[in-house]
Amino acid sequence: MSTTFQLDTATSRANPTPQPMRRLTVPKIGARKVDGVTHDPIVMLTAYTARQAQLLDPHCDILLVGDSLAQVIYGLPSTIPVTLDMMANHAAAVVRGSYHSVVVVDMPFGAYEASPRAAFEAAARLLKESGAAAVKLEGGEAMAQTVAFLVQRGIPVMGHVGLTPQAVNVLGGYGARGRSDAEAEKIVGDALALEQAGAFAIVVEGVVEPIAVEMTGKLGCPVIGIGASAKCDGQVLVVDDMLGMFERVPRFVKKYEGLADTITAAVKTYASEVRERSFPGPDQLYRPK
């Protein structure tokens, strides 16, 4: 049985009296691109917890509750085992921790491929239980009918083409896509089909740069790159990758920090102080009156 979360403004240790602000909307994201040009690039990062959302929200336009939580949060080998319960729970946390960004939640593998109606039931559940604004699904032309079905029934959809991690078993790995002319043509065609079906934005992942540039120029909706091109209408990264939480990351990731080293050093110091009985010290103890 799934759990339905309250969508009221939450309080937390970090933000006990949050100041509500006007949240960005899906139409406002789409409106960033005018006559094929986006003058204000879209900033997008993944988020999986309320605290992450609080820290990222002031600086982002979109927070993606990605099925990458499989590897980042749960230590799974791929995104394939992710469930609707996982996505709904983490999306609800991110919604509670954010007040500005559009929150988009990934549809997990197996939740939308069988039929448009099955996709609608899964997407409706995710939005109702979490309060997120939109869903993201992988796949190109083959998913266009499903995208249209969802959009016509009030569910905003973000597409995802190129390297699609949920199809890793078919693709045979996580290598860059579009190195052949035929594959490049298919990826661009997939994106065009999703736009025509009503997708408000499309993520293009792990492709050779000319494909991303061509796609960005041809599509009227925003194209958000990850391992694609700086010329896309926006960029997205897995937040734990860009913060340096993992030693091994994809080639397209730039590490803006080295938090793994910082955390390791802090825990090492803590462990040493506990063992030598120097923690807790006078500043951490309560004294009788």
Residue 93: is its pLDDT beyond 80?
Answer: yes
| 121-147 mean pLDDT | 97
Q: Is 185 annotated as a binding residue?
A: no
Residue 195: is its pLDDT beyond 50?
Answer: yes
Domain presence at residue 8: no
pLDDT of 229 reads 95
Alpha carbons 83 and 108: distance in angstroms, whole number = 6
| 166-193 mean pLDDT | 79
Collapsed DSSP state (helix, strand, coil) of residue 282: helix
CATH no. for residue 78?
A: 3.20.20.60
pLDDT of 251 reads 84
Domain presence at residue 169: yes
Domain presence at residue 264: no
pLDDT of 6 reads 41
Q: Is 273 annotated as a binding residue?
A: no
| 148-165 mean pLDDT | 94
Taking only the tens place, the pLDDT of each residue in 228-255 is 999 999 999 999 999 999 988 888 899 9
Domain presence at residue 20: no
State how many domains the chain has: 1
Domain presence at residue 7: no
- List the helix and strand counts (H, then E) for the chain: 11, 10
Domain presence at residue 99: yes
> Can 276 be counted among the known catalytic residues?
no
Residue predicted with more confidence, 247 or 57: 57
* 98 Cβ contact partners less than 8 Å away, ≥ 6 residues apart: 23, 47, 53, 54, 56, 57, 63
Domain presence at residue 243: yes
Alpha carbons 200 and 29: distance in angstroms, whole number = 8
pLDDT of 165 reads 73
pLDDT of 168 reads 61
| 194-211 mean pLDDT | 96
Element (H, E) at 64: strand 62-65
pLDDT of 178 reads 63
Q: Is 231 annotated as a binding residue?
A: no
Q: Is 138 annotated as a binding residue?
A: yes
Residue 39 has phi, psi (to 5 degrees) of -85, -20
Domain presence at residue 178: yes
pLDDT of 233 reads 98
Full-model pTM: 0.90
Which of these is catalytic: 129, 195, 205, 214?
205
Please, what is the average pLDDT of the chain? Answer: 91
Q: Are the C-beta atoms of residues 44 and 201 closer than 8 Å to each other?
A: no
Q: Which domain holds residue 227?
A: 26-258
| 151-176 mean pLDDT | 81
For the CA atoms of 107, 207, 212, 186, the dihedral, rounded to the nearest 10 degrees, stands at: -80
Percent of the chain, pLDDT > 90? 82
